[in-house]
Every structure is written in C-alpha cells, then in structure tokens.
Structure 1
C-alpha cells in the first residue's frame, strides 16, 4: 500500500495515495489525511435529539445489570443495607466521572469517546492499548452478555417448566445479535425510534418492582426483612471494593453518548443535559429498586439466583414472573441495540488514527453507517458469546471500566496542560476529577488485592497490547506484510457500496 507509517493501519504523513491498485499521485509529507480517488467521501450524520439521547442513555446505563448484579453485590457486601449504600456510591462516582468526560467530549466533539481522549492525551501507544483492551474486555463481553440475557429471558417465556439448554440460549442470542447488527447497518433512524419503545420496557419493569416493594413494606415479611437490613455487613475492605466495582458496572454504559458525539444534534446543549437528567433519575430508581428487592426477599432468598427480578416476581404474584420475563428480555434487546449502535464508532475512530486498519473508517454510501467496524466487532462478540460465562464477562468489564476511569481523569489535566487555550464549552471543577481518580484507584488496587490472579491476568492481557503495538507499528518486516489491507479495502468498497470517510 505504498510508503505509509504502517501499511494499511496508519495514514498520517502519507507520501502516496491509492485507489486500491497502486499509487496514483504524490501529496506533501505534512498532509494528515489521504485523498482517495473515484469515491464520494462520507460523514456521520447528526440524527440523535435530546429525547433520543436520553432514551439511549436510560437503555444503556447499567444495561440489564439491575436485573442480574444485585445478587453479586449482596455476596460482597454481606447485607442488603450495605449493598444499597454501595449502589448509591457507585451511581454518584459514575455521574462525577461522566461529567469529567463531558469536558473532553465537548472540547473535541469527535466520534470515538474515551478511546479518542486517551489517544489525544497520551499518544499512539496508549490509544492502541486502550483499543486493544476495549475490543477484548468491553465490546465482546458487553455484546455477549446483552445477547445472552435477552435470549435467556425470551426463552423463559416459552420454557416455563424447565430451563432451556445453554446451547439453545446461545444460538438464539447469536441470532439476536446478527439481526440487530443488520438493522444498525441499514436503518439508523428506524432503530433509534424503536429504541424509545425498548427503553420504556426497562422503565415499566423497574416501576413494577418499586411499586410492589413499597406496597410490601407494611407486611409482616417486609418489616422482618427491614429489621435485618444491616445484619452481617462485611468489614472486609477488599470485598467492599469488589462490590463497588460491581456497583460501578451497574451505572456504566453512559460512555455511549460520547462515542456518538458526532451524531448528536447540538451536542454542547444535549450531551450534558441528557447525562444530568438520566443520572438524577437512575440513581434514585436503582436505589429504590434494590430497596424493593430486599423488602420482599430475605438475604438467603436473594442469593439463590442471579435472576433476582424473577425471584422477586414469584413472591409478589404468579403472573408477575411472566410479565418480568417479557419486559427484561425486551430491555436486554434494547441494551444490546445501543451497544451495537455506539461501540463500532470507537473502532471507526481508531481507524481514523491508524490504530486499526483503514477499512474500519469505511461508511456505506447510502446508509452512512460503519459496516466493517460493526461486523468486525460482531465476530469478536460471537466468539466470546459461545465460549464465556456471565461472571467472567462482568468481571472483565468492571476491571476495564475502572482502569479507563483512572486514565481519563488523568487525561483531563494532561489536556489542560497541552491545550490551555482550547475552547471548552463545559469545564468541570478541578476537585471532581481528583476525587474520582482517588476513589477509582483505591477500588482498583483493593479489588486486585482481594482477587489477585483473576484481575492481574486481565491486566496482563491489556498490557500485551504494548508489545503488539511495537511489533505491528515499529517492525518494518511486519509492516511489509500488511499491504493486503489496501486490496481488502478495494474489494469491500466495490462489493458492498462502501466509501472512505471524508
């Protein structure tokens, strides 16, 4: 692919441009983008309104975590009361972290979210390592967990008297994932309108749980459970840290709105407002939902299954489990839809900066959506879906969220130092990122202390991105073998009506 920084990966400072067959003309060495002949250059469309942004955030923040992670947090905390406090603190920390990121998001207003911010702050290697970890520990596990949960709850409507086989659950999950990938590749406007309907299912399910729990408070069982709310609370700092990790996961996922920054209408106004409104509502709702769980269920009952919403429904009324199955399955589909909508844009941004093959920046000429990025991530997610477990997926996601939060809070100060005069439509008070950094660092190291082998192995996997970066980007012999990327891009362009981004 001519003499570029890394043949098929990086296009900055390119000396020659190509049409898929070979060099066609010279450009100055200082040129930062390659001109591609004989195509109509594309851009991402701004189609997400304030209402659409709120719907996306409500569907994605915590995902379906409120229906499966309370049991995990209860195990770590030892008591319902402490687990509720962990949920509250997790929500506050994530809200503060989100607004720290808004400062950078509105400063750049580019697709890519946290990846782009870390790359801009710390350079090429940090950007590549983040992307390496993002694909392995965020995209794959998130899509796999979302599709598996949607499939499990969907099949529970059909298999009322028995548990569906794991093979069937994963087969249906794979079908759901591929279907949503196809829809997101073709009809973004339709899929965003459907998202509002899917989001309402989460709202209805949570409303049923909260109202039922409040009605249950005056009962004898409710009073008995309230009387033992703080019994057996753990004093183990490591377990509390692991609980906070899981609690932070319960409020994670807001990053999708920064990933979609280039597609949000009036982002300076709509991104902060949508985040503020969503967190204000969801922190109250999540705490109230957990309170309702533990008013109805005793600690021993809640620990029987990860599907705590189903146990809750069985105690309230025989019809409630069926209703909850339908609502949670639709909610999980909505969550998966948001992930598939937003996360390929990170790979798209990595392709811009040369940390992924340039074909990841290709958009469809008609639909203006990143087809190669979407389907590449789909392959990774499908593999993890077929080979992973729920607990391992949640652990991987939580660890990476924590490490990313530490890097991003540091990047705020790095960017203020590197670009002191750059316009910032939104500026977070300095104390906020400092507090977030301290809290997330303590949680990360205490979690590693409590479960060293599991978390350290994940950290080692992330750090493997460093030698891979050196081999791919610095080794001339390896770079010569990457010329086939330009040929693949040429055939994809012709076969699927794709074009490179402008």
Structure 2
C-alpha cells in the first residue's frame, strides 16, 4: 500500500491512502507455491494413506485431488479477472447472492479456515523443529505451543511492517521448501531405481477402501496439501496486470505442485513402508533419519522453513479478505483500517494472530485439518453455485477468461457431495462447524441492527478510536475513486 498526494482547487495538499499494485508474476507464483507446498506434503501422505488403506489408491487420490484443485483454480481465474477486486471468494459470493451468504463465507474463513490452518501449520513447524531434540520420547505440549506461538508472532510482525518484506520472505521460503523436496525426490529415486527398492509398490491396490465416506475424508488431506491456490485472488487489487498474471500464476503453480507431489510420494514409498509412514509423527524426518546419516538434521530445518511459508502466505492473503469484509461493514470497523506509516492492514493481522493463538492449544493436528477442510469445501460449494448463477444474472459482464459452464456446475456438485458425506462420516466435527456458522449469523444480525441504542453505538465508536490511537491506524480512502497503478 502507499500514500499519494493530490491537490484541490485551493492548493491544499490532501494525502490519499490507497493500495498499490506491487505483486509481480514471480511474487504471485512464490505466494501460491509458498502456501501450497508447506506442511501438506510432509503430513498429508499419512492422512490420505490412513483413509484409503493402500499405496496405489493413495497415489490415485493425490492425482485426483490435484486435478480437482486445478479445475477449481481455473474457475477462480475466471472470477478473479471478471471481478478484479481484493477479497477473493467473499467478493464473488457477495456479487452473486448478496450480503448474508457473503458473510457466511467470511465467517467460515474467519473461524474455520484461516486461524485453524495457521495453527495446524505452526504446530507442525514446532513438531519438526523439536522432534530431533526429543527423538525417543514425546514432545512436551507446552513446548510445541510456545514455539508455534513465537514463530507466528514473528511472521505477523513482518507482515505488519511491509508487504514487500512479506513477499520477499515468501520467495526465500519457497526456495527452501523446493530444496527439501528435491532432496527427498533424489534420495527416493536412488532407492527405487538404483537399489531396486520396489516392494512397496507390489500389489499396490490390495486392501483399498473405496467407500465414498473414506474418499471424502481423504479429500480433506488433499485440500490441506493443495490449499493455497485461491489465496492470490484475495490480492488481485495488489497484483500487477491481474488479467494476465493471475491465470499464469495459478497454472504455473498448480502444474509445478502436482508433479512435485506425485514424485515426492513415490520417493517416500521407495524408502518407507506404508506401516512405517502411518506410525511416524513426522514422515520427512523419519525419511531423513533413515537415509541422510549425519546430515539428517537438515531435513527438519528445511521443512520447518517450508511450513513457515504456508503461515506467512495465509496471513498475507487472509488479512486482505477480512480487511475487505470490514470495508463492506460486515466486520468491525477497526479491521478496515491500515497502518498510517507502513500502509499495511495491521488490525486484521493482529486479529488473525489472536485467533490463531486460541487454536494453537489444540493437541490434534488432523482434527484441525479436517475442520479446515470442511470449511473450505463449504465455501467452494457457495463459490461455484455463485459462478453459475452470475452467468444468468450478469451475462454481459466482460470475462477475460471464460470457462465452460459445465465446469463450475460439476465442481459445485462434487463439493456439495463432499460436504454431505462429511456429515455422515464425521457428524461431530460437521455439526460443530455448523454451530459456529449459526453463531456467526446471530452476531451478523446484531451487528447490522440499524437501530442500536445510543449507549452501544458510543461504546463501539470509543473502541474504534482506542484501536486507532493504540495502533496508529486510519481508514483508507475509497479505492473506487483512485486510478490503480
């Protein structure tokens, strides 16, 4: 973001606060790859294998999840270039269905996707950092939570300071995670091709669980591993030449990730048996201990950096979503403000920090992954329904990228089916998530109550002023009145 100065008829200089387009194609690819290749490839192999029960079917699920997420990304490319505003899926649902469905999307991201995903990533970061220190015993839960909290506080500080710093950090972290994956792939291929370790691939589909419920739950581990492709849409307002760079960034990133994931899973299975993978709390660390000798310490360090990229990219992108939601008066006003000096949405970033700290106390990483997956599938269902409806509601709107209508219809049906199957397979988690959405709707109707008593209005205004003074933040100028650079 930046400040610009304009001059009125009385030669009085007025400072305008606007968002500047400064995220390039390289930054865009780094942000997407940096978010996607995080904890997923180092954790999700266990989650998918646990559900589908066989090596062959787990590899098929990796490909299917990759294809599904790529098709979703193509649909998002149409939406992102048709409605080139920061805010991503929240803006698309609002354009199609109005305020209440848009708020549900915002609330799901606020409670079930953003902080839950970051908390799981932070705990995985701690797990990989601390596992070499506690090789033969359980890691103290307090230590896990403390390290997780510290690393995310550092990332929030970077994002509050400067968006360029956050983007540069993402480029460096992306390089580290690609190095970690390259090591796994090279070693794994040596074991398979050079040493002939192929017994794990014999009778690859034996014992497969083809039940629809098992497939749906395994999709959540796939969602986790591939999640991140949609986050660049939240930053469209800051992306240079979005009509060209958004689809390019999505396609480059997804192709790179799918190929890398499939080869990495094959490499894992060239060294570790399915049973060893299921018993390992940190698959890549076990892989490194088995193959890297005295250099085994390098693997957890590189993976921890990789997970940091997921947290950094999520905070960078999601803070813009909540910022836009507050500008649309669906979140508290102070979340629509930006730092007066650094021009970053620091109030939204700090709210993400507080929510994440609450979830970090959780002991079950896979529970967090499944909760986030349910929320994400629910949002996708609304997005694709909205995309189909917009074709009839606004048929003449310019669409620089236009997909066949059959694609969003198919993705809507698949996403809806996954949500429905989850209620059957995981009723406790599903109804818990549904209850959180109901609480959000209750708060929405209270927040949009126009005839609030003066005492309540005064207290809300006083609180917003207090936040402004504490954080030195101000409301941005209306972006619609500004020529984007």
Asked if Structure 1 and Structure 2 have the same fold, meaning a TM-score greater than 0.5 normalized by the shorter chain, the answer is yes
Aligned to 2:286: 311
Structure 1 segments unaligned to the other structure (5+ residues): 1-37
Correspondences of 1:480-491 after superposition (within 5 Å): 481-491=456-466
Aligned to 2:366: 391
Aligned to 2:330: 355
Q: Does 1:88 align with 2:67?
A: no
Correspondences of 1:232-243 after superposition (within 5 Å): 232-243=207-218
Aligned to 1:343: 318
Correspondences of 1:418-437 after superposition (within 5 Å): 418-437=393-412
Correspondences of 1:32-431 after superposition (within 5 Å): 40-159=15-134, 162-218=137-193, 222-387=197-362, 389-431=364-406
Aligned to 2:433: 458
C-alpha contact (below 8 Å) 1:93/1:248 kept by paired residues: no
Residues 1:120 and 1:478: Cα distance change in structure 2 (over 3 Å): farther
Q: How many residues align?
A: 465
SS of 1:42's equivalent in the other structure is: strand
> CA offset at residue 225 of structure 1?
1.2
Cα distance in 1 for residues equivalent to 2:168 and 2:238: 15
Residues 1:479 and 1:112: Cα distance change in structure 2 (over 3 Å): farther
> CA offset at residue 220 of structure 1?
6.7
Q: Does 1:449 align with 2:427?
A: no
Cα distance in 2 for residues equivalent to 1:321 and 1:103: 44
Cα distance in 2 for residues equivalent to 1:183 and 1:317: 33
**TM-score normalised according to structure 2 size:** 0.91
> CA offset at residue 254 of structure 1?
1.4
C-alpha contact (below 8 Å) 1:72/1:306 kept by paired residues: no
C-alpha contact (below 8 Å) 1:39/1:499 kept by paired residues: no
> CA offset at residue 355 of structure 1?
0.4
Cα distance in 1 for residues equivalent to 2:316 and 2:133: 28
Residues 1:397 and 1:479: Cα distance change in structure 2 (over 3 Å): farther
**TM-score normalised according to structure 1 size:** 0.88
Q: CA RMSD in A?
A: 2.0
SS of 2:279's equivalent in the other structure is: coil
Deviations 1:49-106 (Å, cap 9, x if unpaired)?
A: 1111111111101531110111111010110110110010001111111111121212
C-alpha contact (below 8 Å) 2:55/2:200 kept by paired residues: no
> CA offset at residue 219 of structure 1?
6.5
C-alpha contact (below 8 Å) 1:351/1:357 kept by paired residues: yes
Structure 2 segments unaligned to the other structure (5+ residues): 1-12, 478-485
Which of the numbers 426, 432, 447 marks the counterpart of 1:472? 447
Tell me whether 398-407 or 461-470 shows the greater mean CA deviation: 461-470
Deviations 1:10-52 (Å, cap 9, x if unpaired)?
A: xxxxxxxxxxxxxxxxxxxxxxxxxxxx984422221111111
> CA offset at residue 480 of structure 1?
5.8
Tell me whether 492-501 or 129-138 shows the greater mean CA deviation: 492-501
C-alpha contact (below 8 Å) 1:41/1:500 kept by paired residues: no
Deviations 1:164-188 (Å, cap 9, x if unpaired)?
A: 3110121121111111111111122
Cα distance in 1 for residues equivalent to 2:442 and 2:319: 24
Cα distance in 2 for residues equivalent to 1:68 and 1:296: 16
> CA offset at residue 127 of structure 1?
1.7
C-alpha contact (below 8 Å) 2:42/2:283 kept by paired residues: yes
Cα distance in 2 for residues equivalent to 1:320 and 1:443: 42
Residues 1:109 and 1:176: Cα distance change in structure 2 (over 3 Å): same
Deviations 1:422-457 (Å, cap 9, x if unpaired)?
A: 222221221211221122222222232222222232
> CA offset at residue 382 of structure 1?
0.8
Residues 1:39 and 1:165: Cα distance change in structure 2 (over 3 Å): farther
Cα distance in 2 for residues equivalent to 1:480 and 1:101: 43
C-alpha contact (below 8 Å) 2:91/2:102 kept by paired residues: yes
C-alpha contact (below 8 Å) 1:473/1:479 kept by paired residues: no
Cα distance in 2 for residues equivalent to 1:267 and 1:218: 43
Cα distance in 1 for residues equivalent to 2:170 and 2:306: 10
Cα distance in 2 for residues equivalent to 1:278 and 1:387: 31
C-alpha contact (below 8 Å) 1:73/1:246 kept by paired residues: yes
